[in-house]
Amino acid sequence: MTPRQARHEAGSATANHEDTLVRMLYEEHAGPLLMFVLRLTGGDRQRAEDIVQETLLRAWRNAHRLGAQGQQSLRPWLVTVARRIAIDDHRSASARPPETYDRELESFPSTADDTDRVLQLMTVTDALRTLSQSHREILVETYFRGRTVPEAADVLGLPLGTAKSRVYYALRALRTALQQRGVTE
């Protein structure tokens, strides 16, 4: 027999022993452990099965230590491990926000998107900056502060005719500035 064949047979013997150990753990302890964990999880079978699987996996990983502690039964250790896993799962679930994958998207309230309004405001503000000071003042008074042309003329100390012509020419200049920005035709 070559060394390679000996290693292969030793490896398959170890694998067979591990398979037997896992089967034995599962057959002997999975049922009672599942009943115990179901009470811990409030009847959530899926969580309980996951906890039992994790518990048996930890027992398999620590098999070399379990026999060395002189225990007559493995069940108290399994129950303790399962209880700790359940507690850890509960704590980690309460530390995270609740999952919302079951909720329909239509149930979420729709909020208005202000992006278009903000972009329009930025474009108009930029276009207003290109106007002369006198044109900007008359448009701010009449359109943004809601004053009539005579009221704006009084506030700015202008004759009524001058205020009217400034509004006319300011609007033309604003339209040209907005056309350059692709807003109007």
What pLDDT band is residue 50 in, cutting at 50, 70 and 90? very high
Mean pLDDT of 72-94: 84
Examine the domain organization and report whether 24 and 87 are in the same domain. Answer: yes
Among 46-60, 102-116, 164-178, the range with the most confident prediction by mean pLDDT is 164-178
In a domain, 110, yes or no: no
pLDDT exceeds cutoff 50 at 7: no
| d(C-alpha 159, C-alpha 162), whole Å | 5
Question: Which tokens go with 89?
Answer: 């799962």
Rounded to a whole number of angstroms, the distance between the first and last alpha carbons of the chain is 92
Q: What is the pLDDT of residue 74?
A: 79
Residues in the chain: 185
| Tens digits of residue pLDDT in 96-132 | 776 666 566 566 566 666 788 888 888 888 888 999 9
What is the DSSP code string of the chain?
Answer: --HHHHHHHHHHHHHHHHHHHHHHHHHHHHHHHHHHHHHHTTT-HHHHHHHHHHHHHHHHHTHHHHGGGT-S-SHHHHHHHHHHHHHHHHHHHHHSPPP-TTS-GGGSPP----HHHHHHHHHHHHHHHTS-HHHHHHHIIIIIS---HHHHHHHHT--HHHHHHHHHHHHHHHHHHHHHTTS--
What pLDDT band is residue 172 in, cutting at 50, 70 and 90? very high
In a domain, 103, yes or no: no
Examine the domain organization and report whether 18 and 73 are in the same domain. Answer: yes
Q: Which is more confident, 60 or 130?
A: 130
CATH number at residue 71: 1.10.1740
Share of the chain above pLDDT 90, in %: 31
Question: Which tokens go with 56?
Answer: 């048996």
Q: Which is more confident, 117 or 52?
A: 52
**Range of the structural domain that residue 63 is part of:** 14-95
Q: Give the number of domains in the chain.
A: 2
Examine the domain organization and report whether 18 and 89 are in the same domain. Answer: yes
